[in-house]
């Protein structure tokens, strides 16, 4: 890439203004002053302006998807099953976008996707205990005693789950609708927590990750995160 374009991508100045910075002799590539803007910058070159390192700002992509049930949370599938990437369409083809954490095949709802590996690691790290809010449906009425078991922690794979919040939103005579808030991200955690009390989760939807909410985003639809949402995630 030409040095004037490179500097513009570093956020220093417009391409035109970058040309002046170059002709003024303020730019060095690998320690050598360059005064011609036709010079190219190669991968691995060390570029400075007035002695300060100039690196391109890579604009990361941050998306929220409402994953429908019946698709898998992966970037590709050997068996040719539908993946969450298929729902993004062509706009991001060739971009290294990956999902943040996982929702199982039958679970729907809020899934974050990004090109920002650092952010992805931070959100997924158990130390950060970012909350995940789910709506779960279970047949028949569920008693407070049963829920207290789940709230206090149950053993999954030999390890107790952390305390979590479970509240009954509604019982319509047939089905109990619950809100479940957990701060871990173990494999199929919500479904397996209820299996320990012999209850089957017949519907599961993630509606929140930390302060981010799914809101009115339609099934299978995605949107870019708002600057405020990105700022929030970076502080988690
Ligand atoms: N808990 C589950 O059981 N499944 C998910 O996909 C997420 C949490």
HEC per residue, 204-234: EEEEEECCEECCCCCCCCEEECCHHHHHHHH
Catalytic residue among 24, 45, 104, 118: 104
- Indicate if ligand 1 lies below 6 Å from the C-beta of 103: yes
Element (H, E) at 162: none
The pLDDT score that the predictor gives to residue 103 is 97
Other beta carbons less than 10 A from residue 83's beta carbon: 16
Give backbone dihedrals phi and psi of 32, rounded to 5 degrees, phi first.
-105, 130
Distance CA 98, CA 66 (A): 15
Nearest to 180 by CA among 162, 218, 206, 152: 206
Distance CA 45, CA 13 (A): 19
Distance CA 182, CA 131 (A): 6
The 10s digit of each residue's pLDDT in 101-117 is 999 999 999 999 998 88
The pLDDT score that the predictor gives to residue 10 is 75
What is the reported pTM? 0.79
- Indicate if ligand 1 lies below 6 Å from the C-beta of 190: yes
Instruction: Give the start-end residues of each E strand in 7-131.
Output: 27-29, 32-34, 47-49, 52-53, 62-67, 98-100, 108-114
- Indicate if ligand 1 lies below 6 Å from the C-beta of 161: no
pLDDT < 50 stretches in the chain: none
77 as an active site residue: the answer is: no
The pLDDT score that the predictor gives to residue 102 is 93
* Angle between the N-to-C axes of helices 117-124 and 227-235, in degrees from 0 to 180, rounded to the nearest 10: 60
The pLDDT score that the predictor gives to residue 95 is 81
Torsion of CA 44, 50, 52, 54, to 10 degrees: -50
The pLDDT score that the predictor gives to residue 100 is 95
The pLDDT score that the predictor gives to residue 168 is 98
């Amino acid at each position: 890439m030409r040095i004037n374009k490179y500097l513009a991508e570093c956020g220093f100045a417009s391409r035109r203004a970058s040309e002046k910075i170059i002709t003024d002799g303020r730019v060095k590539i690998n320690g050598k002053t360059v005064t011609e803007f036709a010079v190219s910058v190669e991968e691995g070159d060390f570029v400075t302006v007035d002695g300060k390192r100039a690196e391109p700002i890579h604009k990361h992509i941050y998306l929220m998807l409402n994953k429908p049930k019946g698709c898998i949370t992966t970037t590709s599938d050997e068996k040719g099953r539908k993946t969450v990437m298929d729902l993004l369409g062509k706009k991001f083809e060739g971009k290294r976008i990956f999902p943040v954490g996982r929702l199982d095949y039958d679970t729907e709802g809020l899934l974050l996707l990004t090109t920002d590996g650092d952010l992805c690691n931070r959100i997924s790290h158990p130390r950060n205990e970012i909350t995940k809010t789910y709506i779960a449906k279970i047949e028949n009425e569920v008693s407070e005693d049963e829920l207290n078991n789940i709230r206090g922690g149950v053993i999954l794979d030999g390890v107790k789950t952390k305390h979590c919040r479970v509240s009954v939103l509604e019982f319509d005579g047939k089905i109990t609708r619950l809100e479940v808030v957990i701060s871990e991200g173990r494999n199929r955690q919500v479904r397996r927590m209820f299996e320990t009390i012999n209850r089957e989760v017949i519907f599961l939807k993630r509606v929140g990750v930390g302060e981010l909410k799914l809101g009115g985003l339609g099934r299978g639809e995605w949107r870019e995160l708002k600057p405020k949402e990105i700022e929030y995630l970076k502080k988690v």
